Amino acid sequence: MIDITEIAHEKLVEKTRKAGENIIRIGLLPAGCNGWKYQFVFVTDSDADDHIIDYGDYILVVETGQLHNFMNMTLDYQTEGLNSQFKFLNPNEVASCGCGQSISF
């Protein structure tokens, strides 16, 4: 359902240990010229309407109503110049803005 690259898995383990939280919420928030931006936050617990994906060292939670937007997605960790960040490689996206801050489905 949601694939995690090896480097992303290593970084998620590292960052969840550092944050002291092992639950990561991914989702979509209204924003930008294309309508949506990705959410990626460490949280203390999940909500009743969340879909829970247990990867052993950490748990991803996605609001069940948004789950279809994340099907067949890959979460990667990439370094570009001096910046390193998690990247959503999502085949469900149909457009993104020029600055890369928002997407549409």
SS3 label, residue 5: coil
18, 45, 47, 85, 102 from 7: Cα distances, Å: 16, 25, 28, 11, 24
Instruction: Give the predicted TM-score (pTM) of the model.
Output: 0.83
Tokens of 75: 């979460």
Residues 25-52: what's their mean pLDDT? Answer: 85
pLDDT in tens, 8-18: 999 999 999 88
SS3 label, residue 6: helix
Amino acid at 99: C
| Residue 96 or residue 7, greater confidence | 7
Tokens of 93: 């996206």
What are the structural domains, with CATH classification, of the chain?
2-93 (2.60.300.12)
pLDDT in tens, 59-97: 999 999 889 989 999 999 999 899 998 999 988 776 676
Contact, 36 vs 98, CB < 8 A?
Answer: no
pLDDT of residue 102: 65
pLDDT at 98 over 70: no
What values do phi and psi take at 48, rounded to 5?
-60, -30
